[in-house]
Amino acid sequence: MISAIKTKRAVGVGLLSCMALFFLSACGTVEHKVNLLNNFTPDRATGVEVGKVTNETGKTFDPGVNVEDMLRRALTEKLSAEGLLWSNATPKKLVLDSKILDYDQGDAFKRWLLPGWGSTVLTIQSDLRQDGQVVGTVDAKRTVSVGGAYTIGAWKTVFDNLAGDVVEDLRSKIPKVEPKQ
């Protein structure tokens, strides 16, 4: 009888520990918004071109870490997947010029030891231009502040996640073109 109670207690504690680990495995902040200026409204047939991407952090990174290319690639992939990437077949074009304001690769082991320590951070500010004129801005920030082994590689995936946030905001402002039937 006593061993059955101990077994149930051990299973309960184990399940509770697993649930706590699951919920704390990759926590961080997500902030993003698009602001269109002077009541600018994009046409339905508007595509977005990834323009200039610059590193404004003042930091240099390992030779294999090119933050400008990582952001450019992530934005291009997400825009393409959402049907927003500009091509010659798209009559209207917005150019998205982005500045990386803050980037810290972080460290999964440090996040596991002490939440907040070893955070991965990516912050960008982008200008949307049409015919050379700024028609809007996009601000986005992603952090991974808590987690362990599950967050290994967050220094790379944070670019894809942030690009997804940016494209989600752009999609909310640019009406989807329905396919012709």
Provide DSSP, 46-80: EEEEEEEEEE-S-----TT--HHHHHHHHHHHHHH
Pick from 16-20, 58-62, 115-119, 135-139 the range whose average pLDDT is largest. Answer: 135-139
| pLDDT (tens digit per residue) in 126-173 | 999 999 999 999 999 998 777 665 566 567 888 999 999 999 999 999
**What CATH architecture applies to the domain 26-173?**
2-Layer Sandwich (3.30)
Provide DSSP, 113-176: HSTTTT-EEEEEEEEEEETTEEEEEEEEEEEE-EESGGGTTHHHHHHHHHHHHHHHHHHHHSPP
Q: How many CB atoms lie within 10 A of CB 100?
A: 22
Q: Is the pLDDT confidence value at 122 over 60? A: yes
pTM of the model: 0.79
